[in-house]
Amino acid sequence: MTSVEGHRRPPTAQQFVLAELRRAITTGRLRPGEPIRQEALAEELDVSRVPLREALKTLEGEGLVGYRPHRGYSVVQLSLDDLREVYLIRRILEAEAVRRAVALLTPEVLEAAEKAQADVERAAEAGDVPAMTEANRRFHMTVFECAGLPRLVRLIRTLWDSTDAYRSMYYGDDPNRERVIAEHHAMLDLLRRRDAEAVVRVLDEHRSAAVGALEALLTPGG
């Protein structure tokens, strides 16, 4: 796990453990398929097994970890087919969210997206993958939430959660970080022009590039 020094603990032990586990997964500290050793983790985080078990149940419900009898919990490992399916479903749902959102865009939403993008660029320049992951999610969700379809956005968030461990792998390479920044700038320009279909096309390319890069990383010998 990453060091917990400097992090302000959330109000409860369960929230603290949940935040630390999410951070470990999104940073790649706990990689897909890796077992979660509860005793060592509880000792490291200085918590009892009770909040740890509750946090793991929450993450299991989100699809980030899985449980197998006699083996315990581990970070979920997606097959390439699973990964492609998640991104296919995202393509369908996010296209609808963008089309609805563009019609309802306000200067405040654009300003929030621009701020998130500035944070993406600062994190990318510093090579801070966790910060870039968080800012990237904020950038996209700012747009999706503008659609005014909360159930749809919840589904999109769940799909994003299921691939968080893989997103950190994608951001680990400089060319991928640079590509993300360029694509975000293109999206912002098109959002300002209220060109929904062009934004959808850029998003499709955005996701396709990520899937292609992850396929190369996950394919044996790739």
Q: Tell me how crowded residue 58 is: count the other CB atoms within 10 A of its CB.
A: 17
Which of 3.40.1390.20, 1.20.120.420, 3.50.50.60, 1.20.120.530 would CATH assign to domain 80-218? Answer: 1.20.120.530
Let me know if domain 13-75 sits in CATH 1.10.10.10.
yes
Work out the mean pLDDT of the chain and round it to a whole number: 88
Q: Is the pLDDT confidence value at 127 over 90?
A: no
The model scores a pTM over 0.85: no
């479903």: which residue's tokens?
Answer: 89
Report the percentage of the chain scoring pLDDT > 70.
94
Q: Is the pLDDT confidence value at 33 over 50?
A: yes
pLDDT, tens digit, 9 for 90 and up, residues 201-215: 999 999 999 899 888
First and final CA of the chain: distance in angstroms?
28
CA angle at 98 for the pair 95 and 104, rounded to the nearest 5° = 150
Kindly state the average pLDDT of the residues 89-117: 97
Cβ contact 204:216 at 8 Å: no
CA angle at 194 for the pair 189 and 196, rounded to the nearest 5° = 95
Q: What are the boundaries of each domain within the chain? A: 13-75, 80-218
Cβ contact 110:192 at 8 Å: yes
